[in-house]
Amino acid sequence: MTEVLMYNIAGDKAIKIKLLCRKLNISAREVQKEDYGKKLGALLGESSDEGVAVAEDFDDEMLYLADFRGAMLDIFLNQLKRQKAQVALKAVRTQTNVGFTSCELHRELSAEREMLAKRRS
């Protein structure tokens, strides 16, 4: 099932993303901070995972996009941009990151963003 996990997205932006998902027949779900220690695969219902105690959390907006097929990813991202509901930290489900916790994914994406910013300057 195509699904979007949403982190720290509130207000009008959250409404826009959820409406877009509904329009495109994509499941959208907000992940609560108490679930940040669970593996992404468990959050998607692909595995059972009791999770680990979360020693940290984050406040950045983040999206995790699972099982997007064909042109669906481009359509979704273009619509986010068109609706001015962009989110800086985004990841598409891979065999590697599905084993990450939300905090681990956030650290990876933040490090990539910093590295790209340094290259641009």
- In this prediction, residue 53 carries a pLDDT of 63
> Hey, how many other C-beta atoms are within 10 angstroms of the C-beta on 115?
10
pTM for the full predicted model: 0.92
Q: What is the β-pairing status of strands 3-7 and 62-66?
A: antiparallel
**How high does pLDDT run on average in the chain?**
92
> Could you read off the pLDDT of 41-70 as tens digits, one per residue?
999 998 777 667 666 789 999 999 999 999
- State pLDDT tens for residues 24-33: 999 999 999 9
At residue 120, the pLDDT reads 80
* Residue of higher predicted confidence among 1 and 20: 20
